[in-house]
Homo-oligomer: A and B are copies of this chain.
Amino acid sequence: MQLLKDRIRKDGKVKEGNVLKVDSFLNHQMDIALFREMGKEFKRRFAGEEINKILTIEASGIGIACVAAEQFDVPVVFAKKTQTKNIAGDVYTTQVESFTHGRVYDIIVSREFLGKGDKVLLIDDFLANGKALEGLAALVEMSGAELVGAGIAIEKGFQVGGDAIRARGIHLESLAIVESMDEKTGEIVFREQ
């Protein structure tokens, strides 16, 4: 998606440790007009697919997912992160290891809001090692819902997540795929799509 790639080039910052800082427009301060265009692009990429629910994960997936959901006219559910297994109530839960924070945590979704009959599109801001997306896919499977696909804003194509998710047969659409980043020069190379 050209608009997103241009914005990453203009406002994204390459940091050490393969971190792409896009917090001025994507995941701390959020450009809602950009999210709207991203939502339209997700709708185009999944045109013809029957989707009746969007599932994302707190916190930086939520804004994108909600604005995108307006294009699909469906509810949004967000998986909650917790570091304690002390979870009350009927939930689906699985463990995720965070690339950004190097931490293991549990994610949960209430059984009330995910189940048979749901045709789910996963949405998140970043795809790096794919652990968060795999966790969301696991919740969908546990619940008996159908996984239609996954929409990602920025995929780091040089990390394993994209390949792993696609290898599982999941319809993955990333609006921008970063092929390489150079911390010294600040250069960002995108994969042609």
Contacts and interface: CB of A to CB of B under 8 A. Distances in A.
Contacts of A74: 32
Nearest to A69: B32
Contacts of A67: 66-67, 70
A33 B70 CA distance: 7
B77 A33 contact: no
Contacts of A112: 23-24, 29
Q: Which of A25, A32, A33, A112 has the most CB of B within 10 A?
A: A32
Dominant secondary structure of chain A at its interface with chain B:
mixed
Contacts of A70: 32, 36, 67
A188 to B, nearest CB: 20
Interface stretch (A2-10, A55-63, A133-141, A176-184): A55-63
A28 B55 CA distance: 10
Question: Chain copies in the assembly?
Answer: 2
Given A75-B29, A75-B31, A80 B59 contact: yes
B63 A23 contact: no
Interface residues of A, number: 31
A177 to B, nearest CB: 24
A113 interface: yes
Contacts of A159: none
Given A32-B66, A67-B66, A75-B31, A113 B80 contact: no
Contacts of A73: 32-33
Given A58-B59, A59-B58, A78-B59, A30 B66 contact: yes
> Which 6 residue pairs are nearest across A and B when measured between Cβ atoms?
A58-B59, A29-B113, A63-B66, A62-B62, A32-B69, A59-B59
